[in-house]
A = this chain, B = another copy of it.
Amino acid sequence: MIKEDKSLKVLDVKDTANILKLLGDKTRLSMVSMLAEQECCVCEFVEIFQMSQPSISQHLRKMKDLGIVKEQRKGQWVVYSLNTTSEYYLLVRELLKHVPSQREKFDWLEEKGLRITCY
């Protein structure tokens, strides 16, 4: 019996290129790296990236459209998280190994008293 490599899923060149293009943006790559650590809501991203709220929303939208992230409303907030059931999830996890941890960004939110999401 051949053992399947659980860290590998072969994808289309075209689909893969689309994912790479999507993650080929500093803001979005940081976002997924953060989401690999913890879930996070829109207004927290706005604080972290010092960027307009619509801009953040649009970045998240693009990632949601390709199924990389998912959203969940929690009261007045919308909390985003990595979609671990995506066919691209393994690729994304692999990519993130090559990028430094973004945990500090959550620490910064805590310090500033801007952390929203409750655990």
Contacts and interface: CB of A to CB of B under 8 A. Distances in A.
Interface of A: 8-14, 16-26, 28-30, 33, 90-91, 94-95, 97-100, 102
Q: How many copies does the complex hold?
A: 2
Where chain A touches its partner, the secondary structure class is helix
Contacts of A23: 17, 20, 24
Contacts of A21: 20-21, 24-25
Nearest to A101: B10
A10 B95 contact: no
A13 B95 contact: no
Given A20-B20, A21-B21, A98-B91, A26 B13 contact: yes
A26 to B, nearest CB: 5
B11 A17 contact: no
Given A18-B24, A23-B17, A24-B24, A98 B29 contact: no
Contact of A16 (B9, B18, B19, B29): B29
A8 B12 CA distance: 24
A53 B95 CA distance: 32
Nearest to A88: B98
